[in-house]
Amino acid sequence: MFEDLTEKLNRSFRSFLGRGKLSEKNVESGLRDVRRALLEADVHYRVAKDLTEAVKARAVGQDVLGSLRPGQQVVKIVHDELTRLMGSGFEDIRRASTPPTVVLLVGLQGSGKTTFAAKLARRLLKSGCAPLLVAADTARPAAVEQLKTLGAQVGVEVFDRGSGVDAVAVARDGVAEARRRNLAAAVIDSRGRLHVEEELMEELRRTKDAISPHETLLVVDGMSGQDAARVAREFAEGIGIDGVVLTKLDGDARGGAALSVRAVSGRPIKFVSVGEKVDELESFHPERMASRILGMGNVLTLAEKAQEVFDRKQTEKLERRIRAAEFTLDDFLEQIRQVKKMGSLGDLAQLIPGMSRMKGLEAEEGRLVAVEAMIHSMTPEERRNPRIIDGSRRKRISRGSGTRVEDVNRLLREFEQVRKLMRSMRKRGPFRMPLSLGGA
């Protein structure tokens, strides 16, 4: 995510960070490079201009130019201004005082609106807010079927009347059904078009009048750069929206949409979709996103991913086994599976300060697959007690897993190192699970 922009911005910062003292001329030169990086990332030209001017206004003061580390001060100012540009903090969807909370999703065709509907429903369900999905994109039969398939994946029922019927009536009846069943929320997947047109806007205005949503969210393709900001402005002016959702952000190396949407449309970004899977949805935190863009990592989001993925009962069971010195290769395998649920190693590296430009993660990801294969090729007794794995057993495991004997040897060495680490932690006093193994 934002790889190109991050690399270009960090290249621009070298002119600041490599100097013991800065002059106004140095700042202006470096900020020209920053503005160029933003424009190449498809950030709206006015947004790029306003941001660099705001940074310059703050950076040329004596408190910066006369400080011991002026370059780092300028980078911090850029971080602050990026944060301000994207918003003051996370803005969640408003909840109704009397259920159901009605959320209307709007957007152009192909923006990822139907997939986001399921992701939002899953998020609501996990927070204890039972939702109903409403298939109001009745012009496209595939949209109804897609929503029903996704609804089954996340365990949420879908209200539909089939295709070719009046979309406004379906939305209204879906909300009434959620109310009749005392459900906490209704998420309406509305019809999209290939581009903004009056017929679409009129239908959405009639839908809003019929259901009075508590939240109207525009779903836009995060890879569309300035175009996403333009679409957000047109929807904000045409029907009124409460927030924006950026999808496909995992494939966006530039970052133009994330930096332009709020400034151009006046509406906050509320969620970002970072993959196709139903659990790949993140709340939008401007400060964290600014850190991510600048390659500073995003440890809070990493911690939230860990809390969501790691099973608390499983973690407590593992803690008890470690205390009793019973950590086995089965436990080792379970931890690998839990980490993989959090996403690819490349995605996780983006969240860890200093690791965003780390190379060779694809090879490490492939090695995790090989480790799983090797452990699966062992007998239950071998997993419980790896010390019985002699030369002939190692050859059998390597053949069964399609790996080399050297790979099996490396796995067993690393596992023994982990066991030693666990024993030393147990002896130091009150035991706490490390983050990498799912603890707080």
pLDDT the model gives residue 393: 94
Phi first, then psi: what are they for 280, rounded to 5°?
Answer: -95, 70
The pLDDT of 297-322, averaged and rounded, is 55
Q: Is the pLDDT of residue 297 over 80?
A: no
Task: Please give the radius of gyration of the chain, using alpha carbons only, rounded to the nearest integer.
Answer: 26
pLDDT the model gives residue 75: 85
The pLDDT of 30-53, averaged and rounded, is 91
Q: How far apart are CA 347 and CA 343, in angstroms?
A: 6
Amino acid at 341: K
- C-beta atoms surrounding 100 within 10 Å: 26
pLDDT the model gives residue 358: 47
- C-beta atoms surrounding 300 within 10 Å: 13
> What pLDDT digit, counting tens, does each position of 100-109 carry?
999 999 999 8
Q: How far apart are CA 387 and CA 398, in angstroms?
A: 16
Instruction: Work out the angle between the directed axes of helices 405-427 and 391-401 (0-180°, nearest 10).
Output: 110
pLDDT the model gives residue 116: 96
In 3D space, the residue among 56, 45, 91, 7 whose CA is nearest the CA of residue 286 turns out to be 91
Which of 35-49, 56-70, 208-222 is predicted least confidently? 56-70
Q: Which two tokens stand for residue 180?
A: 């009749």
Spatial CB neighbours of 301, under 8 Å, sequence gap ≥ 6 = 282, 285, 288, 351
> What pLDDT digit, counting tens, does each position of 312-354 carry?
566 666 566 655 566 788 887 877 777 766 665 555 555 544 4
Q: Is the pLDDT of residue 397 over 90?
A: yes
* Three-state secondary structure call for residue 281: strand
The pLDDT of 157-161, averaged and rounded, is 94
Q: Is the pLDDT of residue 94 over 70?
A: yes
DSSP state of 226: H
Q: How far apart are CA 286 and CA 290, in angstroms?
A: 6
> What pLDDT digit, counting tens, does each position of 122-152 carry?
999 999 999 999 999 988 878 999 999 999 9
pLDDT the model gives residue 416: 84
Q: How far apart are CA 157 and CA 143, in angstroms?
A: 15
Check if the beta carbon of residue 106 is closer than 8 Å to that of residue 228: no
Write out the E strands in 28-121.
101-107
Dihedral, CA of residue 395, residue 398, residue 404 and residue 407, to nearest 10: -110
Q: Which two tokens stand for residue 124?
A: 């609501």
pLDDT the model gives residue 3: 78
Q: Which two tokens stand for residue 282?
A: 């993140």
> What pLDDT digit, counting tens, does each position of 101-130 carry?
999 999 998 899 999 999 999 999 999 999
Which of 25-29, 60-64, 162-166 is predicted least confidently? 60-64
Amino acid at 316: E
Q: How far apart are CA 32 and CA 40, in angstroms?
A: 12
pLDDT the model gives residue 352: 47
The pLDDT of 191-210, averaged and rounded, is 90
Q: Is the pLDDT of residue 370 over 80?
A: yes
pLDDT the model gives residue 309: 54
User: Which domains, from first to last, does the chain contain?
Assistant: 3-86 (1.20.120.140), 101-296 (3.40.50.300), 304-437 (1.10.260.30)
Q: What are the CA-CA distances from residue 60 to residues 32, 56, 237, 355, 430 (Å)?
A: 14, 6, 38, 31, 50
